[in-house]
Amino acid sequence: DAGVTQSPTHLIKTRGQQVTLRCSPKSGHDTVSWYQQALGQGPQFIFQYYEEEERQRGNFPDRFSGHQFPNYSSELNVNALLLGDSALYLCASSLVLRGARTDTQYFGPGTRLTVL
């Protein structure tokens, strides 16, 4: 049973560039949430996708956008990168069961983004 996978594992960009990160949810899961984890901090919620739509959004600017595909995989896009965007970006998947969102979120290994 494949867990949550993310690609790439590491990425180096320069200020002003754009980046796309990818996530495949755990088998059988249909909901994907994205988190940003700065060094020494807990993960911070960016947004959540279900049925190819953004359902919830945290306190992040519009430079952060996402997409979910029919196979439930997801992308996180960040435009106009700032130095402060350097962080570990985590994807978590969960399941909507009989119309109700289940509690448990399973995390992937993350993508380490460095902005120079």
Partner 1 sequence: GENVEQHPSTLSVQEGDSAVIKCTYSDSASNYFPWYKQELGKGPQLIIDIRSNVGEKKDQRIAVTLNKTAKHFSLHITETQPEDSAVYFCAARVYSTLTFGKGTMLLVSP
Q: Measured between alpha carbons, how far apart are the two ends of the chain, in Å?
A: 37
Distances (CA, A) of 17 to 69, 74, 77, 86: 24, 20, 11, 12
108 lines the binding site for partner 1 (CB under 8 A): yes
Closest approach of Cβ 100 to partner 1, in Å? 10
Which position among 76, 90, 95, 115 is part of the footprint of partner 1 (CB under 8 A)?
90
Residue 36: CB atoms within 10 A of its CB come to 22
Say how far apart CA 68 and CA 70 lie, in whole Å.
Answer: 7
Could you give the angle at the alpha carbon of 75 between the alpha carbons of 69 and 46, nearest 5°? 115
Which position among 1, 40, 70, 97 is part of the footprint of partner 1 (CB under 8 A)?
40
Q: Which is nearer to partner 1, 34 or 78 (CB)?
A: 34
104 lines the binding site for partner 1 (CB under 8 A): yes
Stretch that binds partner 1, among 14-22, 38-46, 61-69, 71-79 (CB under 8 A): 38-46
43 lines the binding site for partner 1 (CB under 8 A): yes
Structure tokens at 68: 């979910």
Question: Contacts with partner 1: how many residues (CB under 8 A)?
Answer: 25
